[in-house]
Chain A
Amino acid sequence: MMRLFREALLNVRHGGVVSLLAVVIVALTAALFSSLYLVRNAVYAEAAQFEKNAGAAAFIMDELSEEEVKQLEKTILAMESVERTHIVWKDEALQRGQKMFGDDSVLMLQGFEENPFPVAIEAFAGEEYRNAESMRKMAEEMKQLEGVEDVVFENEAMEQLDKMKRVAFLLGGLIAAVSMVVIAFSIMLTVYARREEIAILRLLGATYGYIRIPLLLQGLLEGLFGSGLGMLILYGLYWQYGASIGFTSFLKPEQMGIVAAGATLVGMLAGMAPLRKHIRAMN
């Protein structure tokens, strides 16, 4: 095992410029990927803030007594998709209305004898249900309940958000794929640079395994060093400028793990991929 690591480290050093270049390319790719990951985190955090208030409001018929409204609230709270509820009594509704319409509210309310705002029960969705589809179902279900006049929810914004998330996911996948290809090629290049050495080892009676394992370790180390370096660079930038452009947290440890593991795995596979073709040719 020690021999293998020594050999692999030696390979990285012997790889010289090409190995160094590979590590730099892996680092830059990992930094780029991670910075987009960081942006994604910020967008998701923002979205989560918005989604926390994802809910539907059921307007209640005036005939219902206070007791009946409370009963209805319990029924709604019992629904699977509902996490918490809040009853907006007439007074609060009025206040909200006045706040919303400002000075115009005086005018608006002129013709009414009494408070025209209906009682509403707001239902907020649980975490897994904060998407357009589930929200629609939830509203549907609430509408069926006795005593509910109408249900409104922010359909549009919800759908917009869903779409954004899907785009982010696809874009992320694309960038991940590009990163992997770039990393794979740069590490394959370091093996390619050593093809003559590999050919000589074969002529001296080295088995495939003897040659492959150090190359695999070399790819692994290049992937690991590269991605580590990349994230370190990004952390440096984050530390210096992150706060000023509104970032509040760096990648989570498990996210850094994903980047490092991805680069390392790709590096390892790339380290042994081109082997068989390069072991012939003596002249």
Chain B
Amino acid sequence: MHTTHLIHNPAGEKGVPILEAKEVTARFGSREAVIQRASFTIERGGFVFLLGPSGSGKTTLLRLLFGDIRPIEGAVFYGRINLRNMRGRRMAYYRREVSFIFQDFKLLPRRTVFENIALALRVTGASSRTIREKVDEIIPRVGLAHRRDAYPSEISGGEQQRVSIARAMVNEPNVLLADEPTGNLDPRMSTEILDLFEKFNFRGTTVVVATHDAAMAASRRQPILRIERRRVIEDIA
């Protein structure tokens, strides 16, 4: 497997910034800015909720952190690297270190559950054996053992969500950006998924969970970033 390290010893030294937004402004076309001069820090090994109502800009903010859209003003840093300077191959490597759980799952319709999850490893050039081992290990952890060979159209919304969760976690990223990861799950499954995130977090993965559900954010004694009036406010739990 191709493992690059854009930043040094990602799991080490807790408390150091791993993702940093500095005075970031994002806008689509000529419409008014969605995020305006927002600054915040996410620490290595941290677990934070990104809280805001629907349409407040959670997805936009996560995409900024993911390098999928570029800020009009300000900058996003991964460690010391400005994402603006990350293109082509380096951006590809960045996305192997920072995974995204998409609100709309983004599964490939013509591939099975197994293949969809495997894709995150295949793009890194991992061997078939490694892929099989890792994918078959994570599938039961998201409760999909019985659906391993099903196609996305044959499984429920909650199951699709879990496929996208497994795909984001299977390559053990440094950072997990989760966009409403429990939006389609019942309370019990939501709890299980959050527990899973905490387990990963315990092993060193930095986790950012975007949600509109204040109760869920409050349930975990983790710090909360609140989007309010196009700014980001850091709530200390």
Output the least CB separation between A277 and chain B (Å). Answer: 15
Bound complex: CA A204 to CA B119 (Å)? 8
Output the least CB separation between B5 and chain A (Å). Answer: 14
Q: Are A205 and B123 in contact (CB under 8 A)?
A: yes
Output the least CB separation between B8 and chain A (Å). Answer: 19
* Max chain B Cβ within 10 angstroms of own Cβ: one of A204, A208, A283: A204
Closest to A281 in B: B68
Q: B89 contacts the other chain (Cβ, under 8 Å)?
A: yes
Bound complex: CA A204 to CA B124 (Å)? 9
User: Which of A24-32, A166-174, A195-203, A221-229 participates in binding chain B?
Assistant: A195-203
Closest to A13 in B: B110
Task: Name the interface residues of B82-125: CB closer than 8 Å to any CB of A.
Answer: 88-89, 92-96, 100, 102, 106, 108, 110, 119-120, 123-124
Output the least CB separation between A79 and chain B (Å). Answer: 65
Q: Are B120 and A204 in contact (CB under 8 A)?
A: yes
Q: B63 contacts the other chain (Cβ, under 8 Å)?
A: yes
Interface 0/1 of B59-76, CB less than 8 Å to A: 100010010100000000
Q: B162 contacts the other chain (Cβ, under 8 Å)?
A: no
Q: Are B167 and A208 in contact (CB under 8 A)?
A: no
Q: Are B63 and A210 in contact (CB under 8 A)?
A: no
Q: Which of A14, A200, A202, A282 contacts B92 (CB 8 A)?
A: A202
Task: Name the interface residues of A182-218: CB closer than 8 Å to any CB of B.
Answer: 197, 200-208, 210
List A contacts of B88 (CB < 8 A): 207-208
List B contacts of A282 (CB < 8 A): 63, 68, 102, 106
- Given known A201-B119, A282-B68, contact A206–B92 (CB-CB < 8 A): yes
Q: Which of B59, B63, B123 contacts A201 (CB 8 A)?
A: B123
Bound complex: CA A37 to CA B167 (Å)? 52
List A contacts of B66 (CB < 8 A): 203
A-binding residues in B (CB < 8 A)? 59, 63, 66, 68, 88-89, 92-96, 100, 102, 106, 108, 110, 119-120, 123-124, 167
If A203-B95, A203-B106, A208-B92 are given as contacts, then 17 extra A-B residue pairs at C-beta distance below 8 Å, sorted by A number, are A201-B119, A203-B100, A204-B123, A205-B93, A205-B96, A205-B124, A206-B92, A206-B123, A207-B88, A207-B123, A208-B88, A208-B89, A280-B68, A282-B63, A282-B68, A282-B106, A283-B59
